[in-house]
Amino acid sequence: MGAEESRPRASGGLSDRDGAIDFTEFIVGITVFREKALETRLERVFDIIDVSGDGYISFDEMLNFMSKVLILADPQKRKNIDGKTLAAMVFTMFGLNNTSQKISKRQFVEGCQNNEDLRNIFQTE
Ligand SMILES: [Ca+2]
């Protein structure tokens, strides 16, 4: 370490210390960016599910989306669950107990951010 410190620094080069700070800033930056990206992605998914564009996901819209998700799911999983059951489960996970209720964009984004199961269902790359 002593030899390192006494070595003249190249002009414009970073010391070890500066390098560490840059790396921390880099990680913090990435984390913040990722959070934003998740929220943005979830908002986009919300817009896709909200077919009517009224800013709320109705049970029918969720059912419609879940039916499409199930078509893409592997056939083994599809056998055990139908779109209606899945949509009802998701509504429950968002804290709704009635299929006449609707999910707002804020509820959707926060619900997915706070629930890993919901994130796994809705998070798209
Ligand atoms: Ca809607």
Structure-model confidence comparison of residues 17 and 28, the more confident one: 28
CA distance 76 to 57: 28
Q: Is the pTM of this model over 0.85?
A: no
CA of 102 to the centre of ligand 1 (A): 8
Structure-model confidence comparison of residues 76 and 19, the more confident one: 76
Residue 94: both structure tokens together: 């968002």
Kindly give, in sequence order, each residue whose CB lies less than 8 Å from that of residue 33, ignoring residues fewer than 6 positions away.
none
**pLDDT digits over 107-119, tens only?**
999 999 999 999 9
In this prediction, residues 44-70 reach a mean pLDDT of 94
Nearest-CA neighbor of 55 among 96, 90, 107, 99?
107
pLDDT at 15 over 70: no
CA of 71 to the centre of ligand 1 (A): 22
CA of 68 to the centre of ligand 1 (A): 17
CA of 108 to the centre of ligand 1 (A): 12
- pLDDT band, residue 6 (cuts 50/70/90): low
Sorted by where each starts, the structural domains of the chain and their CATH numbers stand as: 3-121 (1.10.238.10)
- pLDDT band, residue 5 (cuts 50/70/90): low
